[in-house]
Amino acid sequence: MKKFSQSPLPFQGQKRKFTKGFTAALANYPNDGVYVDLFGGSGLLSHTVKTVYPMSKVVYNDFDGFSRRLQAIPETNLLLAQLRQILSDYPSDCKITGLHRERVIELLKEADRRGFVDWITLSSSLKFAMNYGTCLTDFTDSTLYNSIRMNDYDATGYLQGVEVVSMDYKELFLKYKAVDKVVFLVDPPYLSTDTATYGSNGYWKLKDYLDVLQVIHNRDYFYFTSNKSQIVELCEWISSVSTTANPFEGAIRTAISTTTSYNSGYVDIMYHYKK
């Protein structure tokens, strides 16, 4: 089975920086366990477990319809080929203007009329870095750039053997909480993160992040967060001034720093715990 070290399609918040650390940490967990990826996103964690432990049961919660985007890869590749043609004589990484822009917009409108379009993936080819659109007007009403990807996307075998479900994480947790050898993979949207490309935009508040901590209580788990969210600090503080236990007590912490620009950056954190 081919191992992907990152999501085969663009996905904000995918755990590609942790694939190595996550794979190493899995060594302490059962090869025939039941791994429930409560906040599946791009499915990268589910895919990783299945490649490491082919005998395990892996449940991927596709809350955003990422599998729909995977299914659409042939159409996405076709659109990219047409865009490459339209922009073949156009300088790369430049704003698309004039007749070229008109032709690009016409192509996008046609695709939209035909049905599903993977706007998030197209964003990587037509928008400024890290800018994402989720519908036609996010493209027709904004500046477009010629940063067309030159290779086709390929996700062959990516979700092979993985069970795909789509529901609120609380419902999924209830279904599996009493199952033998269950391990929960918990990677909620980060606090203070732009969640515009997630199905849940605007919904996540501090209370929602605190609610999530109930699923790790007294369970085998992997939990992902970042120093931007400050959930861990909050838990440490509460446990220091009250009798409430810190939910991360006894867990192993792995951190990866990322520098975004001069003197600024953030730290991605993975906690994992085995009873």
Ligand X SMILES: C[S@@+](CC[C@H](N)C(=O)[O-])C[C@H]1O[C@@H](n2cnc3c(N)ncnc32)[C@H](O)[C@@H]1O
Segment interacting with ligand X, rule: CB under 6 A, options 34-42, 100-108, 149-157, 260-268: 34-42
Binding of ligand X at residue 194 (CB under 6 A)?
no
Among 132, 169, 184, 248, binds ligand X (CB under 6 A): 169
Binding of ligand X at residue 189 (CB under 6 A)?
yes
Q: Which long-range contacts (CB under 8 A, 24 or more apart) does 215-219 make?
A: 215/38, 215/169, 215/170, 215/173, 215/177, 215/184, 215/186, 216/184, 216/186, 216/247, 216/273, 217/247, 218/275, 219/177, 219/182, 219/184, 219/273, 219/275
Binding of ligand X at residue 60 (CB under 6 A)?
no
Contact call for residues 93 and 150 (beta carbons, < 8 A): no
Binding of ligand X at residue 10 (CB under 6 A)?
no
Instruction: Give, as one character, the DSSP assignment of residue 142.
Output: S
From residue 198, alpha-carbon distances to 19, 133, 145, 188, 225 in Å are 21, 11, 23, 11, 17
Q: How far apart are CA 37 and CA 103, in angstroms?
A: 41
Binding of ligand X at residue 61 (CB under 6 A)?
yes
Binding of ligand X at residue 39 (CB under 6 A)?
yes
Binding of ligand X at residue 42 (CB under 6 A)?
yes
**Residue 58: CB partners within 8 Å, gap ≥ 6?**
35, 37, 46, 49, 50, 161, 162, 163
Minimum Å gap between C-beta 91 and ligand X is 33
Binding of ligand X at residue 15 (CB under 6 A)?
yes
Among 49, 64, 144, 162, binds ligand X (CB under 6 A): 64
From residue 155, alpha-carbon distances to 66, 73, 122 in Å are 12, 8, 16
Minimum Å gap between C-beta 13 and ligand X is 3
Binding of ligand X at residue 11 (CB under 6 A)?
yes
Binding mask 126-165 for ligand X (x = CB under 6 A): ----------------------------------------
Residue indicated by tokens 């992997």:
222
Binding of ligand X at residue 199 (CB under 6 A)?
yes
Binding of ligand X at residue 44 (CB under 6 A)?
yes
CB of 41 or CB of 247, closer to ligand X: 41
Binding of ligand X at residue 187 (CB under 6 A)?
yes
Sign of the Cα torsion 231, 235, 237, 238 reads positive
CB of 87 or CB of 133, closer to ligand X: 133
CB of 63 or CB of 153, closer to ligand X: 63
| Encoded tokens for 199 | 């199905």
Total number of residues that touch ligand X (CB under 6 A)? 21
Minimum Å gap between C-beta 249 and ligand X is 23
First to last CA, the chain: 30
The torsion defined by the Cα of 162, 251, 179 and 245, in degrees rounded to 10, comes to -140
CB of 7 or CB of 125, closer to ligand X: 7
Radius of gyration of the CA atoms of the chain, in A? 20
Residues that bind ligand X (CB under 6 A): 7, 11, 13-15, 39, 41-42, 44-45, 61, 63-64, 168-169, 187-189, 198-200
